Chains A and B, each alone.
Chain A
Amino acid sequence: MTNRSLPMRRGLPVVLLLSLLTGAGCAQAAGVTPADSQAVRALFLQQTTAETAHDLHALSGMFASTAPGQPDAVSFVARAYRFWGRGEVLEHFRQTFAGTWRVEPDRSALRIIPLNQDTVQVYAPTKVTIAAPGQPEKTATFLINEFMIRSPSGWKVAAVIPVPAQ
């Protein structure tokens, strides 16, 4: 061992300690916790309840809002139509609520898939009963996919992607 290596060995713990301390700042924050999963599940069920109740005001509060100048994360992609942005999606529900609209998720089959710490996918086979005003009802099953995002005011709905099961 040379005279040069001894001071180096003394310096290494300092560098290592600093690396650990600063590295902690680089590490991701805690991921999606069980409490997050419960909140996401609750949000999805509240959303379906609000839809079945045709409560547009409650539903509006569940969809993500974007700060001015920021891109709108809200979308709705279905076989029959595509809506981009919170305004279009809520207008779609306003029109839909004029007729029949009932949403009944299979709670036992509901799954939550974290994409990262701030984004979660929800999957739920769901019976949807729909009809234009005065028209006979039709019920069909959809594999509903939704994407929820963490916001300063809690989890919010961003994207709704229903896949027809038949």
Chain B
Amino acid sequence: MSLQKVLACCVAVAVMSAAHAEAPHRFTDEDRQAVEAVFIRQAEAATAHDIDAFAGVLASAPAGEPDPVVLLARSYQFWGKPALIEHFKDTFKGVWKFEPDVANIRVAPLSADAAQLYAPTRVTAGASEATAKTASFLVYETAVRTADGWRIASIVPVPAQ
């Protein structure tokens, strides 16, 4: 590698570094759309009982960092992504439909790299179609910006009744 090539590499690295330094530290309309989109993917995966797709929308903590994924409901609390996935593997054996009122979704930033999402949502759950019941929840979630895009961290369903 000639000196010129080494210098060219250095310039390229420096340019990439500058781009990183300007990595998004503002929450944009594009972020808002991305957060809503990942929530819609979560809802579709849940209703389709697609556990892999469902796992894919949840944040994965880098090694050595705390797991931000929680589901804190009236009936149960799950701490960490593995516990939540296990819960939904069981849940998906029965009836589970998660139907947000898309027209009333609200997304707002908490910080540059974390967002809050609110969606009135109908949840139908039960061991069988015959016994399944539908209830309305005011679903509050948070999403975090990751290297792979926005991912869901907290799920807090507030019973509407």
Contact = CB atoms under 8 A, between A and B. Distances in A.
Interface of A: 4, 7-8, 10-12, 14-15, 18-19, 22-23, 25-26, 31-32, 71-73, 75, 77-79, 82, 84, 111, 113-116, 118-119, 121, 123, 143, 145, 147, 149-150, 158-159, 161-166
Given A26-B23, A116-B113, A161-B156, A7 B2 contact: yes
B56 interface: no
Given A15-B9, A119-B113, A82 B74 contact: no
Interface stretch (B34-42, B82-90, B123-131, B138-146): B138-146
B160 interface: yes
A137 to B, nearest CB: 22
Given A115-B144, A118-B113, A22 B72 contact: no
A89 B70 CA distance: 25
Contacts of A4: 1
Contacts of A111: 79
B108 A72 contact: yes
Contacts of B2: 7
A77 B77 CA distance: 18
B57 interface: no
Given A75-B116, A79-B159, A115-B68, A15 B20 contact: no
A116 B156 contact: no
A116 B146 CA distance: 10
Given A14-B6, A31-B65, 18 more contacts: A8-B1, A11-B3, A26-B17, A31-B66, A32-B66, A73-B111, A77-B140, A79-B161, A84-B106, A116-B113, A118-B114, A123-B77, A145-B140, A147-B114, A159-B140, A161-B140, A161-B156, A164-B159
A121 B154 contact: yes
B158 A147 contact: no
B109 to A, nearest CB: 5
14 contacts: A11-B1, A11-B3, A15-B6, A26-B20, A31-B66, A71-B108, A73-B111, A77-B140, A79-B159, A115-B68, A118-B111, A118-B114, A145-B154, A161-B156
